[in-house]
């Protein structure tokens, strides 16, 4: 019987091991942080001039945005919001923005017309470019667009990568984010410590504190119960133990 229980537990454990995933998707924004970005060769969309990413970040820290011109989804609103935030909210010229196509089909001319569409052609802070080494760049920044042959579109995240003047990735932002987050990215590419904390989403069930961004106040959350639980349980166990063993006589007399 005992043997069966042990075997069952081992088999159950092995099954759990198969199910377990040790890499968690919620941590995508934290992947590749402080890694060096791949020094990709770039072709500028306006002048057709060739160069390297390092020539850009060595001059000024960079914000790298990954888009493709045939995107019918997130790329346009994403770029529009980025433009608005940088031109009208941040008004900070201490960094450059490189908008890079990750679609090998995009030509210099495609990127040039995208730049024109967004009215950024004459803006020296912005550089639209293509590269022939997108795979290596994607690996170095942890970006993995997936081609959907039915829709003829990429499934991809709207990704911004902050790169400091040493070529290190200091912060990543996934999705359409507030200008406050963008400010944090700008401070990080200037090597200023920026406190960051993963915001609890709907899948975070046990937060210690629930933060209300409107009032800026934290209220105790369900997770706090878990911090108090061990002491409460231990006390209960000790009291129960005493009740269970009380009736028995001492095994060894007093010394």
Partner 1 sequence: MESQGMKKITSVWIITILMLFVVSIVLGILMRLNQGGVIQEQTLTFYSNLTTHGLTMIGIWFVAGMMAVNYLMQRYVRTSFAVNLTALIFTVIGVLLLWLSTFAGKFNAAWTFLYPLPFKDFGASSWATTLFLISLAVFGIGWFIWCISLMANILKKYSLAEAFAWQHLRKEHKTDTPPFILITTVTLIGIITCLIAAVIIIVLFFAEMLSQGRFVNDALLMKNLTYFFGHTIANEMLYLGLAVIYELFAEVSGRPKWKTTWYVSLAWNCSLVFILTAFFHHLYMDFVQPEGLQIVGQLASYLASLPAAGVTVFSVFIAVYRTKIKWSLTNVLFFMGIAGWVIGGLGAVIDATITNNVVLHNTLWVPAHFHTYNAMGNVLFSLAFFYWFSTQSLENIRLSTAAKGLLVTLLIGGIGFLLAFYIGGSDSVPRRYSNYPASLKEAKPLALMGASFAIVYLIAILSFFYNISRRCLKILFASA
- Interface residues toward partner 1, by CB under 8 A: 13, 16-17, 19-27, 30-31, 195, 197-198, 200-201, 203-209, 211, 218, 221, 223-224, 226-227, 229-231, 233-235, 237-239, 241-242, 244-246, 248, 250-252, 255
Q: Which is nearest to 35 in space by CA: 180, 138, 140?
A: 140
Q: Give CA–CA dist 152/119, Å, rounded.
A: 27
Instruction: Please state the closest distance from residue 208 (CB atom) to partner 1, in A.
Output: 5
Tokens, residue 39: 């020094």
In the bound state with partner 1, the residue whose beta carbon lies nearer, of 46 and 208, is: 208
Tokens, residue 109: 């001319």
Place of tokens 């992947």: 31
In the bound state with partner 1, the residue whose beta carbon lies nearer, of 3 and 23, is: 23
In the bound state with partner 1, the residue whose beta carbon lies nearer, of 150 and 205, is: 205
Instruction: Please state the closest distance from residue 201 (CB atom) to partner 1, in A.
Output: 7
Instruction: Please state the closest distance from residue 237 (CB atom) to partner 1, in A.
Output: 6
User: With 0-12 CB in 10 A as exposed, 13-18 as middle and 19+ as buried, what is 210?
Assistant: middle
Residue 60: other Cβ atoms inside 10 A: 14
Report the chain's terminal Cα–Cα distance, integer Å: 43
In the bound state with partner 1, the residue whose beta carbon lies nearer, of 8 and 226, is: 226
Instruction: Please state the closest distance from residue 187 (CB atom) to partner 1, in A.
Output: 15
Element (H, E) at 148: strand 146-148
User: With 0-12 CB in 10 A as exposed, 13-18 as middle and 19+ as buried, what is 42?
Assistant: buried
Count of all residues that appear for the chain in the document: 255
Instruction: Please state the closest distance from residue 144 (CB atom) to partner 1, in A.
Output: 13
Instruction: Please state the closest distance from residue 225 (CB atom) to partner 1, in A.
Output: 10
**Helix (H/G/I), strand (E/B), else coil: 101:** strand
Instruction: Please state the closest distance from residue 29 (CB atom) to partner 1, in A.
Output: 11
In the bound state with partner 1, the residue whose beta carbon lies nearer, of 31 and 133, is: 31
Q: How far is CA 248 from the centre of its chain?
A: 59
In the bound state with partner 1, the residue whose beta carbon lies nearer, of 109 and 237, is: 237
**Helix (H/G/I), strand (E/B), else coil: 58:** helix
In the bound state with partner 1, the residue whose beta carbon lies nearer, of 37 and 75, is: 37
Q: Give CA–CA dist 50/74, Å, rounded.
A: 28
């Amino acid at each position: 019987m005992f043997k069966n229980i042990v075997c069952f537990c081992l088999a159950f454990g092995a099954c759990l091991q198969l199910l377990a995933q040790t890499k968690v998707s919620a941590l995508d924004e934290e992947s590749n942080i402080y890694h060096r970005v791949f020094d990709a060769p770039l072709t500028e969309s306006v002048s057709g001039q060739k160069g390297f990413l390092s020539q850009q970040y060595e001059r000024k820290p960079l914000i790298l945005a990954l888009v493709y011109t045939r995107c019918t989804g997130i790329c346009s609103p994403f770029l529009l919001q980025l433009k608005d935030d940088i031109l009208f909210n941040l008004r900070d010229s201490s960094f450059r923005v490189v908008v890079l196509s990750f679609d090998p089909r995009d030509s210099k001319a495609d990127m040039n017309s995208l730049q024109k569409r967004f009215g950024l052609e004459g803006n020296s802070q912005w550089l639209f470019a293509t590269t022939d080494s997108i795979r290596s760049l994607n690996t170095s920044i942890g970006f993995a667009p997936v081609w959907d042959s039915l829709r003829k579109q990429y499934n991809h995240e709207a990704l911004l990568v902050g790169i400091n003047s040493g070529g290190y990735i200091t912060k990543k932002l996934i999705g359409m984010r507030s200008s406050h987050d963008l400010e944090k990215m700008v401070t990080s590419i200037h090597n200023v410590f920026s406190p960051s904390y993963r915001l609890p989403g709907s899948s975070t069930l046990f937060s210690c504190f629930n933060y209300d961004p409107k009032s800026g106040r934290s209220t105790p959350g369900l997770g706090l119960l878990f911090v108090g639980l061990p002491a409460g349980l231990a006390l209960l166990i000790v009291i129960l133990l005493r009740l269970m063993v009380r009736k028995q006589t001492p095994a060894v007399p007093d010394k």
